[in-house]
Structure 1
Amino acid sequence: MKIINSCIFLLLSVFISGLKAQERDSLLTKDEVIRRALNENYGIRIAENRVEVAENNQSILNSGYLPSVTGIAGTTYDLNNRLTEPEEGESLEQTGVENNAYRASVNLDYVLFDGLGRFYNYKSLREQYDLSQLDARETIENTVLQLMSVYYEIARLTENIEVLQQTLEISKERETRASYQFEYGQSNNLAVLNARVDVNNDSVVLLQARQDLSNTKRDLNVLLNREITAIGFEVDTTVGFIPKLQLESYLDRAAANNVSLLQIEKNMAISAYNIKISKSGYLPAVGLTGSYGWNKNRSAATAFFPGSTTTTDGLSAGISLSWNLFDGGQTIVRVRNAKIDYANQELLREQIKLEVKRDISNALNEYENKLFIYKIQEENVSTNLNNFNRSREEFSLGQITSIEFRQAQINLLNARTSLNLAKYEAKLAELQLLQLTGQLLNVEL
């Protein structure tokens, strides 16, 4: 018997451990969500591919610093009829005269100097690669912000459902109490009907909240490239806020870390190089050529010469200089336009600086207001909870009506759902502020 009991206990332990493991597996944490998004989100994957293209463009293979080597080979075959009529002597007519020629060569071309256009183009490509990384970072930041917005909405709806379930249970208890009172003649049927109406209303609100939760989970699955119908997961509802001193340090370094400001700086560097690339058209170009060739010609005999085969091979090299003294003014126009583009980038930089400063100021005020509202809502929940508990006691003693008790219940429900909303709105406001300061990807969410 002891052995049987031990086996049953062991099986129950394994079963309970399995359930706990399933519960842990069904919890989708913030870190897991972000990690999966970085690997599976379509927008992020496209941005990473663009970075890879920019990396290929800024490699030495695309710089123009390497020579070009070409191999050429060919053959020709001639079949002719020939009539030779010398001034003295008899004419000679030949039919089916064959001539063959074979040739092959390896040619090298290298630009020694092109007015430094190649040099500045290479530097511009490196800046474009850095810019593509910033573009990818911006895509990741926007995706993470969108992702956490959906994630926290799931968390808010989850907590709201818990509140609505508690509200429904209280309404059911009130209906049961009213039914007993009616059966024993302590109240009329109106109290039962009112309680039943409240139960139905609470059930409908809970049903709608569960539907909203399912829809939001599907939204998250789309962002994570998961199976749409896989909504049997839970999310972490804990929320923490960054300490004030740490946030102030982020604000002090916002100008150096904001992605929009970093992007405009890279665009200005690219525009500056475009000016120098355009100016390279004023300078001469020096090129080097070299080749190794092999030729073989076989000619048929003529009236005066016997047939012969000639084979030649050898090296050749040369250097060339070209200077476009006047190209119709095209270089002048390119330089002027490049300078205008740089001036526009300077204006755009000042505009973005002003806009970023405004956005950070607005986001900071929004965050502080949301935190203040969150603290007020905490106090409001505490007040309404005390009021509800007292109302519940008085209702059980028959000192207040069901309508007054229902009002206290609704007030507590509204206070709790408002608290959940304030908490997650404050967190999202913090995330938006972190994005503007360039720290969204550097902190634990």
Structure 2
Amino acid sequence: MKTKLLKAVLLSGVALLTPAMVNAMGLNEAVQIALESNPEIGQAIANHDATGFELRQAQGLYAPRVDLDASVGVQLVDNPTRRAQGIDDEGLYPSQVGLSATWDLFDGGFRDSEVARQSSRVDSASYRVLERSEFIALQIVRVYYQVLLQQQIVELTRQNVAFHEGIVNDVASSIDSGQLTEADRFQSIERLAAARARLTEAGVELAAAQIEFKTFVGVMPGAVSAPARAASAIPGSLELAIANSVLNNPRTLSAGADIDAASALVDQAESALFPKLSLEGRVGTGYDISGTDGWNSDARVGLSMRWNIYDGGIRDAQVQEELRRESEAKLSFDQTVREVEQAVRESWLRLASQGELARVYDQQLNSSAELVASYRDQFNIGDRSLLDVLDAQNTRFNVQILRETARYSVMFAEYRVLASGGDLLGFMGARPHQSASAGTRSALDIPSWQESEPRALKPLTLPTNGN
């Protein structure tokens, strides 16, 4: 049994350490898998569904409440009537069953406000599902490009190792012919060892990128290929990108729904200023009830009204409290808009700067490649030292890494601009969970906070040591 378990563990470890054996996976496929299985998105979906059931509870407030009650027991009644009848020492065995119903006819708008609040919370939760989906998708784009970049770096590092192996062979031949010394051999071997160490580091960085990919997607990436560029879907100007993001970013939409929820709480607080009118009814039947022998039945229906006309200013203070909560939600919305705008500007800046860097590195790489070839030719005829050739190759290798890094950074920045406007999933053709669609307020005809008139704020006066 232990042997079988050990084999299973070893096999699972091999599976994790050999991602190349996994089927090839495109970027869009990886995003779709994550949308259906990522735990962070799953948490947001569960929160949405839980909030949806809170809305169901709020809608239930419109229905009457019906209760069934029953009781059975023994009772001893000693009163003048029973004493006069000489039965004061006889026990009663009351048993009864009753049905009561209460239906709120008017509550000052409390139920309407509760439905509006929960509808807003459901839509806010939907936008959070969408926000998580867009965020996870963007992270997958990042790590997917990271895997591509690290694969390219591994290949460039292999080429660098091959170059230094060639140099070691050339130096050995030159030593045999008396053109170079043992010091040159040691120098070439030292550079070869450094190149091999860099290859090992590149392999580790590639494995780390693949592991991070698995964290988001749930499976190793396997073979990857360059995805479609997103440049064609980017807005034509920074101003358009900012405007689109403010209107469509899930974070700003969620913050707007939170304002609606806070506004509904103000309406709820104001509803407590009004009377509450209810229709109440009850039917019941029983035996030996109310201290009377035999069967008894009763039925009644009527209206009841309850209105608190004085509470020391508590309800007025609650209204002002919720008005401040509403103001807090609006300020949070403003802060979210600023943060979204900042993200757009940073993404736009990186897109422009990395594009310029990629062009500069292209030019530098062309010069570095020509310089290495020229130095090596001159080295072969004794016009250049070995150190000149090695330094030129080191510069070329570093520029190659920088050029590839900038190139992939441009590609990722394009996707990041789309994500800042909430357009990433749409561009990729990915389908988020159905709970990411926010339409509850619209379906229930809940007005937006932007359509309501501002309400008066009373000044706050608190006791101080001087009073």
Matched, 1:218 2:211: yes
Matches for 1:225-304 after TM superposition, within 5 Å: 225-226=218-219, 233-237=222-226, 240-243=229-232, 246-248=235-237, 250-297=241-288
Partner of 1:127: 120
Kindly indicate whether the alpha-carbon contact (under 8 Å) linking 1:63 and 1:122 is maintained by their aligned counterparts in 2: no
Kindly indicate whether the alpha-carbon contact (under 8 Å) linking 1:290 and 1:317 is maintained by their aligned counterparts in 2: yes
Q: 1:103 to 1:377 in 2, by over 3 A?
A: same
* Aligned counterpart in structure 1 of residue 109 of structure 2, from 107, 116, 127: 116
Partner of 2:300: 316
Cα distance per residue 1:29-71 (max 9 Å; x no partner): 2223222322332222111111111111122665411221211
* Aligned counterpart in structure 2 of residue 401 of structure 1, from 385, 396, 418: 385
Q: 1:106 to 1:86 in 2, by over 3 A?
A: closer
Cα distance per residue 1:137-169 (max 9 Å; x no partner): 222333333333333222222111110000101
Cα distance per residue 1:215-256 (max 9 Å; x no partner): 232233223345xxx6x8343345724137645454442221
Matches for 1:107-186 after TM superposition, within 5 Å: 107-186=100-179
Q: TM-score, normalised to structure 1's length?
A: 0.81
Cα distance per residue 1:234-290 (max 9 Å; x no partner): 433457241376454544422211233223322222222222211111211111122
Kindly indicate whether the alpha-carbon contact (under 8 Å) linking 1:367 and 1:429 is maintained by their aligned counterparts in 2: yes
Give 5+ residue unaligned stretches, structure 2. 1-18, 430-467
Give the structure with the higher percent strand: 1
Helix, strand or coil at the partner of 1:58:
helix
Q: 1:218 to 1:354 in 2, by over 3 A?
A: closer
Kindly indicate whether the alpha-carbon contact (under 8 Å) linking 1:78 and 1:100 is maintained by their aligned counterparts in 2: yes
Distance in 1, matches of 2:266 and 2:290, equals 58
Helix, strand or coil at the partner of 2:384:
coil
Partner of 2:441: none
Helix, strand or coil at the partner of 1:111:
strand
Matches for 1:372-383 after TM superposition, within 5 Å: 372-383=356-367
Q: 1:160 to 1:238 in 2, by over 3 A?
A: farther
* Aligned counterpart in structure 1 of residue 350 of structure 2, from 336, 357, 366: 366
Moved more, 421-430 or 281-290: 421-430
Cα distance per residue 1:339-375 (max 9 Å; x no partner): 2233333444444444443443343223211111122
Q: 1:391 to 1:239 in 2, by over 3 A?
A: farther
Helix, strand or coil at the partner of 2:103:
strand
Kindly indicate whether the alpha-carbon contact (under 8 Å) linking 2:58 and 2:114 is maintained by their aligned counterparts in 1: no
Distance in 1, matches of 2:424 and 2:263, equals 31
Kindly indicate whether the alpha-carbon contact (under 8 Å) linking 1:54 and 1:129 is maintained by their aligned counterparts in 2: yes
Aligned residues: 409
Helix, strand or coil at the partner of 1:243:
helix
Q: TM-score, normalised to structure 2's length?
A: 0.77
1:391: Cα distance to partner? 3.5
Q: 1:309 to 1:342 in 2, by over 3 A?
A: closer
Moved more, 255-264 or 347-356: 347-356
Larger Rg: 1
Partner of 2:183: 190
The code of the aligned residue for 1:443 comes to F
Moved more, 73-82 or 249-258: 73-82
Kindly indicate whether the alpha-carbon contact (under 8 Å) linking 2:146 and 2:209 is maintained by their aligned counterparts in 1: yes
The code of the aligned residue for 1:111 comes to D
Helix, strand or coil at the partner of 2:284:
strand
* Aligned counterpart in structure 2 of residue 206 of structure 1, from 195, 199, 209: 199
Give 5+ residue unaligned stretches, structure 1. 1-21, 301-307
Kindly indicate whether the alpha-carbon contact (under 8 Å) linking 1:99 and 1:299 is maintained by their aligned counterparts in 2: no
Cα distance per residue 1:368-392 (max 9 Å; x no partner): 1111112222222233223333344
Cα distance per residue 1:191-227 (max 9 Å; x no partner): 322221111110111111212222232233223345x
Moved more, 40-49 or 179-188: 179-188
